[in-house]
Structure 1
Amino acid sequence: MSFITDPLVYYPISGILWFWHKIFAFLGGFLPWVESPDSNGAIWALSVIFLVVTLRILLFWPAAKQIRFSRKMQEMQPRMKELQKRYKNDREKLATETRKLQKSEGFNPVLGCLPMFIQIPVFLGLFHVLRSFNRMGNNFGALGMSAEETRNTGNYVFNADEVQSFLDARLFGAPLSSFISQPIEQFQAFVDPGAALDFERWNIIIVAIPLMIVSAVTTHLNARISLSRQSPEAAANPQAKIMNQLMLWAFPIGILVTGAFWPMAILVYMVTNNLWTLGQQYYLFEKMAKEDDVAALKRREEQKSLAPRVGVKPVNPKRGRGAPTGTAVASQETVAGVTSDDDDDPDAAPAVAPAPSPGAAPRPGQRPQQPGGQRTRPAQKSGGGSGKGKKKKRKR
């Protein structure tokens, strides 16, 4: 896999670190209190910090997509559970309905998981590059080299002289490539061959333990902030509860336990990365909260615009069914207009409301008419009695 990871991961990461080291070493040359800028521990620590910052800036968009992906999953969780209950005995139908739901919501699980897959190789590559400055021993990233071989072997973009500069760097008296549990024979890589050691293990402990504690605390805080945005339904899931406890307590404790095996530069990376994550989560969550507020305000404005105005009687379209368009509304407006005029003039004669058209809705208090118009009583034939009398007289 080296033919893939070397050009795509290790060389770019080491190139970014090399760039920042050259920048800070050049600037450090103008400061009279900075001795040997190329091998100064603070210069190298700043280079590691800005390497992390550069990578996190490049990965900001994937990280934002990952957070939005998690939020979308939480929003869809109740509807997913409904589908699972409804089609629990029909897997094919469940898969079809799930795809329909994801399409309607604009949710793509492949694109949602992609940011996470991008970040993993980057951080593993960063760990590998920092660890590869000292390749003594047989642990991860080491090649079992001797102290002399380590000091004369390049590290991707860095040549042998630059590797020696990194090995000679001290951060508060501790080498950046050293770690608490490192065997003492490997300390020879941090000095010139045959030279006496200029540090002891307690120098490493004094610097490493505070970095481990800060890294563990910030890991816990990041997990707490992330879980505070979790929906109650998702938090009630038994599997989610186990994962939440791991994130809150197991991972921070794991840093305290395994931190004794991590080089100092890795601990600097961990602290920087966690602090960046804290700030990034705060920024993204606040931004998304504002977006939610704007969306909620927009929905309220739309509902308000559809609501009837004060003093205007809403028209029920079902009541005017069967009437010509605008007939019922026009008759109501005519009556309202006449009534308002009459109220202004007390001497005016009461207006007679026009007869409603056939099929129109009756006015309040009016007796509904049957279709076909008004029915009139049949006219009585005048002189009906006299006609009968005439017939009787003829019989006589």
Structure 2
Amino acid sequence: MLDFFGAIGGAIMTPLYYIISVVLVGFHKVLGTFLDPEGGSAWALSIVGLTLVIRAALIPLFVKQIKSSRNMQLIQPKVKELQKKYGHDRERLAQETMALYKDSGTNPFASCLPILLQMPIFFALFRLIDQAADGKAHGVLTTQLAEDFGQAKIWGVVPISETLTGSWGDQWSVVTLAAFLVLAMTATTFLTQRQLMSKNMPADALTGPYAQQQKMLLIVLPVVFAVGGIAFPIGVLLYWTTSNLWTMGQQFYVIRNNPAPGTPAAVAKAERDKAKAAKKGHVVDGEVPGAVDVQEAPEAPRAAPRQQPKRQTRSQRKKR
């Protein structure tokens, strides 16, 4: 049975080893032209480059995640109505809720896709770095490159393959950098979730099961990363912190430029657009800035037409 699961795991991880190692080695060759190829800076920046490539490839999924999250927010009033109507019948409530999701084109699990797809890559990088420290190569990494990678030291003192727990009380430079990266990883995770809830969620979505789920993630995810991070190698912490910074910046851009309707971000964008239009002299609220309000002068009364005398016949003139 163990051999069976091992074969499945190998079938999944082997392609990831090749994908990760190709990108990693490619960046290392470029950076090695002006940095020490065996130094930690070249390998650390290669991990940053790997992170950027992976996150760029996941942009379509991020767009789908944003759309799904927005739809979830907008249909919350309808979800509450269903809860009031079918709260006594859980099976019917579930059926009607799923029908609502289908009709609105909402996938409640789409918000987890980027994280779920990154997890195999995360574990593949973890094993790649961990086993490279023992000289074991994966993918396109040669044995020599694997040894260089596993033994590379950032600033010449902090090994990429070391962990906070493995260096506690021994290598304080490793402990300091690892602790900083763990805190940065935890803080960026918290701030990303907080940014979403405070800026891009309408008032109706701040209550109910969806809001409770978001509030739970706001606490649970940073704790999970903080606890797990103490056992991650420096290289993996560098990858995850860079990934979180990418997520924060990407989400900030989307919320600022394409916020969900009825949210504080939407109000802020409307005010910015109004100020920008006023600055350029465009019409704002039906008025043109700088235009003079000219009222039409009332027309002067026309003179009454002069009445012409009636023509009289000759007999009428003689009578006079």
With structure 2 as the length reference, what TM-score do the two structures score? 0.70
Q: Which amino acid aligns with 1:234?
A: A
Question: Secondary structure at 2:131's aligned position in 1?
Answer: coil
2:207 pairs with 1:223? no
**Which blocks of at least 5 consecutive residues in structure 1 are unaligned?**
29-36, 137-146, 185-199, 305-342, 350-396
Encode CA deviations 1:51-106: one digit per residue, 9 max, x unaligned.
10111111112112201211111101112322443455786698469637843x4x
2:17 pairs with 1:10? yes
Q: Which amino acid aligns with 1:175?
A: P
2:257 pairs with 1:287? yes
Distance in 1, matches of 2:141 and 2:96, equals 53
Give 1:244's aligned residue.
215
Distance in 1, matches of 2:306 and 2:86, equals 72
**Which blocks of at least 5 consecutive residues in structure 2 are unaligned?**
1-7, 275-282, 287-300, 308-320
Contact persistence 2:23–2:50 (CA under 8 A): yes
Encode CA deviations 1:240-297: one digit per residue, 9 max, x unaligned.
33641541x4433444443321100011112211111111111111121399668x99
2:103 pairs with 1:117? no
RMSD: 3.9
Give 1:308's aligned residue.
none
Q: Work out the number of aligned pairs and report it.
A: 269
Encode CA deviations 1:179-200: one digit per residue, 9 max, x unaligned.
122289xxxxxxxxxxxxxxx5
Distance in 1, matches of 2:73 and 2:106, equals 14
Distance in 2, matches of 1:257 and 1:114, equals 26
Distance 1:100 1:347, change over 3 A: farther
2:158 pairs with 1:174? yes
Higher-RCO chain (CA-CA 8 Å, sequence separation at least 6): 2
Instruction: Tell me the percent identity.
Output: 25
Distance 1:258 1:130, change over 3 A: closer
Distance 1:124 1:100, change over 3 A: closer
Give 2:33's aligned residue.
26
Distance in 2, matches of 1:97 and 1:163, equals 51
Distance in 1, matches of 2:172 and 2:10, equals 40
Encode CA deviations 1:2-55: one digit per residue, 9 max, x unaligned.
354235433212221121111111232xxxxxxxx2221011110000110111
- Mapping for residues 186-201 of structure 1, pairs under 5 Å: 200-201=170-171
Contact persistence 2:61–2:113 (CA under 8 A): no
Distance in 2, matches of 1:174 and 1:161, equals 20
Larger radius of gyration: 1
Give 1:362's aligned residue.
none
Contact persistence 1:9–1:122 (CA under 8 A): no
Contact persistence 1:219–1:274 (CA under 8 A): yes
Distance in 2, matches of 1:268 and 1:215, equals 9
Q: Which stretch of structure 1 is more off in the superposition, 119-128 or 256-265?
A: 119-128
- Mapping for residues 96-107 of structure 1, pairs under 5 Å: 99=99, 102-103=102-103, 105=104, 107=105
Distance in 1, matches of 2:130 and 2:159, equals 11
2:186 pairs with 1:202? no
- Mapping for residues 129-168 of structure 1, pairs under 5 Å: 129-135=125-131, 150-151=134-135, 153-168=136-151
Q: Which amino acid aligns with 1:99?
A: A
2:45 pairs with 1:62? no
